[in-house]
Amino acid sequence: MTGPVTRPAAPRTDAERRATYRRLSPLTPVVRGPLLLVAFLGTSWQQLLGQRDRGLVAVLLAGLLVAGAVYGVASWLRTKYWITEEELRIDTGVVVRRSRRIRIDRLQGIDIVQPLLARLFGLAELRFDVASGSDREGTLAFLPHAEALRLRRSLLERRDDLRGPPSVPSAAPTAEEELLLARLDLRRLLVSLALSVEALLFGGLAIATTAALLMTGTEVLAGAVLPAVLGLALTVGRRLTSYYGFSLTSSPAGLHVRRGLTALSSQTINPLRVQGVVVVEPWLWRPLGWARLEVSVAGYRTTDADQVEASSTLVPVAPRAEVLAVVRHVLGSERDVEAVSLAAPPRRARWLAPLGVRTMALGQDPRLLVSRRGVLSRRLDAVPQERVQSLQLTQGPLDRAFGLVRVHVDSPPGPVRVVGEARDRDEAREFVGEAMGHGGAARRLAGWPPAQPRGAATPPTADTSQVNSPNPSGAESSAALPAEDSPAT
Amino acid sequence: MDELFTPPGVIWRRVSPRLAVVRRAMLGAAAVVLVGLLAVLAAMADVAAGEVVLGLLAVGVAMAAAWWLVGRSVRRWGYAELDEELLITSGALVRRLVVVPYGRMQYVDVHAGPVDQLTGIATLRLHTASPGTSAVVPGLPVDEAARLRDRLTARGETRAAGL
C-alpha cells in the first residue's frame, strides 16, 4: 500500500504500479455499515416504533445489520483502484459494476473529508474534483488518513508534472512548504456566530417564548415556536462544527482549507481557477470591522447548499485588513482590489435606489473589475479582467426615463457578482468599451495567445468583412487599441 | 436607434423579419385559443352581450400591444461580429447589449422549432461558463445561422482561453 510518494514518482515505478490495484481500508464496511443503519432508522423509525411485537423489530434490525455487513464486505471486495501514469481508475459496484477513470491532469482539486465515525477509526474519504464532468465527482471512501494525505500529494504532484511547467505557479515544488494565510481562533468564531442573524433570532425567540411561558403559562405558544428555535440553533451549531479549527494555507499545489470539529474536511483549491472574490461585511460585524471572504471557483460543484457555503468560503471571519491580504494572495500581487478607483452612480440614481445609492460603486483597472454595494451588509466583488465571461448592459423603461443603465459582469456560478446598478448611460458605455479592451489584453497576457496579430483572424467571408475603423465615439474604439497595454508586467 | 445599445462604427446585422411573422402567427394562434375558451365559458355561464364585447375588446387590446411589441423586439434584435467579441443587442421594453468574447464561448447551439423550419429561420444561442450570459439571436436564416455558428466556433478555437 505504501508507494513511493514523497517525490514525483519516476516512470519506472509507474510501470510497476500499473499492474497492481489497491483496495480501500478494510475497516470501510465497519464505518459504512452503521451509516446505512442510521439512514434506515432515520427514515423509518416511526413505523418501527408503531410495531407491537418488539421481538420482530429486533429480528428485523439484526437481519438488516447482517445484510448490511455482507453488502459492505462485498462492496469492499469489489472496490479497487489503480493509479497509472495518467489515470486514476476506480472500480466499484456489487451488482452493477462501474469503472471510473479520472485523468490526473484534469484533476482540479482533491478534498479530504473525515466524517465523525471515520475519524474515530482514523479513516478519511478522498473526493476528486474534475471540473469538466457534469456528473458526480469521483470518491474513494475510506482510506487511512495518512495514506489519503500521501495519495493526494502524490496525485497533485503528478498532475503538475503532467501539465508541465507553465501551470505550476511557483518554481519550488516542495509540497510540504505551506504558508499560513488565515487561521480562525475559537473566540472569534463564537463571537461572529453570536453576531449572526440566526443567533440573534434564536436568542430573541428563546427569550420571548420563555417570558410568554412564565407570564401566561400557555405551552401552546412554546410548542409552535420550538421547531423554529431548534432549527436556528441547528444552523448555528452546524456552522460552529464546520468552521471549527478553520485554517487556510497556501502551497505550490494550491490553497488548502482545513476545518471541522466532528467531521474534518480538507479542500485544495487551485488559485488559477478562482473566477472572482467577494469580501462580505455582514451588518452585525461591521462595528468590529470583520469580514468574510468567498470565492467563485470554476467547476466546483457540491450538491447540498451547506457544502456550497462551506466550499466557497476562504475566510469565514477575520478583520477586514487580513481578508484583503488573503485577497491579494489569491488574486496575485499585481492585482490590488483597493487600488481600483470606484465611482458612485449619478445623483439622480437615488430615485431608483434611495438607500443603496450611497454605497453602490463600480470601477475597473487593467486587471480587475470591482463593484461595491449593500445597504446593511456591505460587499465588495472583484473579478479579474481575463475571467469575464460576458458583459451586459440592460435598461428597463424606468432606467430609460432617468438616463440610467445597469452594467453586469457575468461570472461562472458562485457567490461573486460584479454589477453596477443605475449607472449614467455615457459612463456605462465607456466602462464597457474599456472593459472589452482590458479583457482582451488580459486574456492575451494570461498566456492563451491568439497566434495571429489582431484583426488578421477575421475570416475572409465576403459578407462579414468588417469596417472596424477606429471610431472615437463608439464603445469599440477602446477595444481596438488594447495591444498597446499588453506588454506590461 | 439608441447608440448606447447599438454602438456605431460596426456593422450591425439584423435578424430576419420572418421572425416577426412566426411570432405573430403564434400570437394569433394563442388569441384564437383564448377566444375559443372565453366563448365556451360564456356559453356555459350565460353572460350579457355587453360583457362578451368587453372581453373581446380586452383580448383585442392585449393582442395589439403584443403585436406591436413583437415588431419592436424583432426590429431591435441584432448582432455584430467584432475582432474579439460578439455583440448582441435586443429588447422591446428592457433593452440589452451583451458582449461575449469569442474565447469565452463554451459552445454554440442552433435550434429551429417546427414553425421556424416552415419559414426557414433558426435560433442561435451562445453558452459561456456563466449561466447569466443571455446571448441569443433568434430569427436567423438557416444557412446564415450555420455560417455564423461555424465562424464563431472557429474564432472561439483560435482565441480559446482557459477558465
Question: What is A116-142 written as a DSSP string?
Answer: HHHHHTTEEEEEEEETT-SSPPPEEEE
Comparing C-alpha atoms, which of A403, A373, A159 is closest to residue A279? A373
Range of the domain at A423: 272-448
Q: Are residues B98 and B62 in the same domain?
A: no
CA distance B72 to chain A (A): 14
Q: Residues 450 to 469 of A: which have CB under 8 A from any B CB?
A: 450-452, 454-455, 457-459, 461, 464, 466-469
Q: Does some domain include residue B5?
A: no
Least confident range of A57-61, A166-170, A266-270:
A166-170
Q: Give the model's pLDDT for residue A293.
A: 94
Q: Does some domain include residue A188?
A: no
Out of B44, B73, B102, pick the residue that ends a domain: B73
Q: Give the model's pLDDT for residue A39.
A: 67
pLDDT tens by residue, B19-78: 999 999 999 999 999 889 888 888 888 777 788 888 889 999 999 999 999 999 999 999
Out of B54, B73, B92, pick the residue that ends a domain: B73
Q: Give the model's pLDDT for residue A49.
A: 64
Q: Are residues B87 and B143 in the same domain?
A: yes
Q: Residues 77 to 106 of A: which have CB under 8 A from any B CB?
A: none
Q: Is the pLDDT of residue B161 over 70?
A: no
Q: Does some domain include residue A474?
A: no
CA distance A383 to B122: 34
Q: Are residues B53 and B98 in the same domain?
A: no
**A267 Ramachandran zone, left/alpha/beta (phi>0; psi -120 to 50):** beta
Number of compact structural domains in chain B: 2
Q: Are residues A148 and A217 in the same domain?
A: no
pLDDT tens by residue, A443-480: 888 765 433 333 333 333 333 333 333 333 333 333 33
Q: Would you give the DSSP letter of residue A482?
A: G
Q: Does some domain include residue B116?
A: yes
Q: Are residues A162 and A45 in the same domain?
A: yes
Alpha helices (H) along A104-259: 116-120, 145-163, 186-194, 197-216, 219-243
Q: Are residues A328 and A198 in the same domain?
A: no
Which of A389, A458, A468 is the closest to B104 by Cβ? A389
Q: Is A289 on the interface with B (CB under 8 A)?
A: no
Q: Are residues B120 and B103 in the same domain?
A: yes
Q: Does some domain include residue B134?
A: yes
Q: Does some domain include residue B105?
A: yes
- We report the CATH number of the domain holding residue A129 as 2.30.29
Number of compact structural domains in chain A: 3
CA distance A165 to chain B (A): 16
Which of B4, B85, B130 is the closest to A425 by Cβ? B4
Q: Does some domain include residue A414?
A: yes
When comparing pLDDT for A130 and A281, which is higher? A281
Helix (H) or strand (E) holding A480: none
Q: Does some domain include residue B95?
A: yes
Comparing C-alpha atoms, which of A291, A253, A246, A258 is closest to residue A271? A253
Substitution target in A295, A297, A390 with the highest count of B β-carbons within 10 Å is: A390
**Mean pLDDT within A391-396:** 93
When comparing pLDDT for A337 and A19, which is higher? A337
Q: Is A389 on the interface with B (CB under 8 A)?
A: yes
Least confident range of A40-54, A333-347, A431-445:
A40-54
Q: Give the model's pLDDT for residue A171.
A: 42
Establish how many alpha carbons lie within 13 A of residue A197's alpha carbon, considering only the half-sphere containing its beta carbon.
5
**Mean pLDDT within A80-91:** 85
Edge-to-edge order in the sheet of strand A123-130: A139-144, A123-130, A107-114, A264-269, A254-259, A247-251, A179-183
Q: Does some domain include residue B117?
A: yes
A/B interface, count of CB pairs below 8 Å: 152
Q: Does some domain include residue A106?
A: yes
Q: Are residues A311 and A390 in the same domain?
A: yes
Q: Does some domain include residue B110?
A: yes
Least confident range of A163-167, B69-73, B86-90:
A163-167
Q: Are residues A198 and A162 in the same domain?
A: no
Q: Are residues B96 and B146 in the same domain?
A: yes
The proportion of chain A whose per-residue pLDDT surpasses 70, expressed as a percent, equals 74
Q: Is the pLDDT of residue A442 over 50?
A: yes
Q: Which residues of B34-44 are buried (b: 16+ CB within 10 A; e: fewer)?
A: eeeebeeebee
Q: Are residues B85 and B59 in the same domain?
A: no
Q: Give the model's pLDDT for residue A42.
A: 65
Q: How confident is the model at residue A399 (pLDDT cuts 50, 70, 90)?
A: very high
Which of B8, B151, B159 is the closest to A459 by Cβ? B151
Cβ–Cβ gap B163/A299 under 8 Å: yes
Q: How confident is the model at residue A291 (pLDDT cuts 50, 70, 90)?
A: very high
When comparing pLDDT for A220 and A327, which is higher? A327
Please give the backbone phi and psi of residue B69, each rounded to the nearest 5 degrees, phi first.
-65, -40
Most confidently modeled range among A23-27, A170-174, A386-390, A446-450: A386-390
Q: Are residues B32 and B44 in the same domain?
A: yes
pLDDT tens by residue, A405-436: 999 999 888 889 999 999 999 999 999 999 99
Out of B40, B73, B106, pick the residue that ends a domain: B73
Please give the backbone phi and psi of residue A12, each rounded to the nearest 5 degrees, phi first.
-60, -45
Substitution target in A421, A476, A485, A486 with the highest count of B β-carbons within 10 Å is: A476
CA distance B155 to B83: 9
Return the residue of B nearest to A394 by Cα: B96
B interface with A, Cβ–Cβ < 8 A, is 3-5, 7-11, 81-85, 91, 93-101, 103-104, 128-135, 147, 151, 154-155, 158-163
Helix (H) or strand (E) holding B77: none
Q: Is A425 on the interface with B (CB under 8 A)?
A: yes
pLDDT tens by residue, A167-176: 444 444 444 5
Q: Are residues B89 and B69 in the same domain?
A: no
What separation, in Å, do the N-terminal and C-terminal C-alpha atoms of chain A show? 46
Q: Are residues A323 and A204 in the same domain?
A: no
Cβ–Cβ gap B97/A392 under 8 Å: yes
Q: How confident is the model at residue B162 (pLDDT cuts 50, 70, 90)?
A: low
Range of the domain at B85: 77-158
Q: Are residues B22 and B87 in the same domain?
A: no
Q: Does some domain include residue B12?
A: no
The proportion of chain B whose per-residue pLDDT surpasses 70, expressed as a percent, equals 96
Q: Give the model's pLDDT for residue A173.
A: 43
- In sequence order, the 6+-apart residues with CB closer than 8 A to the CB of A44 are none
Q: How confident is the model at residue A164 (pLDDT cuts 50, 70, 90)?
A: low
CA distance B41 to chain A (A): 36
Q: Does some domain include residue A187?
A: no
Q: Which residues of B touch A369 (CB under 8 A)?
A: none
When comparing pLDDT for A134 and A120, which is higher? A120
When comparing pLDDT for A280 and A262, which is higher? A280
When comparing pLDDT for A424 and B7, which is higher? A424
Q: Are residues B60 and B34 in the same domain?
A: yes
Q: Is the pLDDT of residue A54 over 60?
A: yes
Q: Are residues A27 and A155 in the same domain?
A: yes
Return the residue of B nearest to A460 by Cα: B151
Q: Give the model's pLDDT for residue A290.
A: 94
3-state secondary structure of A388: coil
Q: Does some domain include residue A183?
A: no
Q: Does some domain include residue A6?
A: no
Q: Are residues A294 and A210 in the same domain?
A: no
Q: Would you give the DSSP letter of residue A473?
A: S
Q: For residue B149, count other CB atoms closer than 10 A to its CB.
A: 19
Peptide bond into A121 cis (omega under 30): no
Q: Are residues B86 and B147 in the same domain?
A: yes
Q: Are residues B81 and B122 in the same domain?
A: yes
For chain A, what is the mean pLDDT? 77
When comparing pLDDT for A54 and A412, which is higher? A412
Q: Give the model's pLDDT for residue B121.
A: 93
Q: Which residues of A touch B132 (CB under 8 A)?
A: 389-390, 392, 408, 410-411
The proportion of chain A whose per-residue pLDDT surpasses 90, expressed as a percent, equals 25
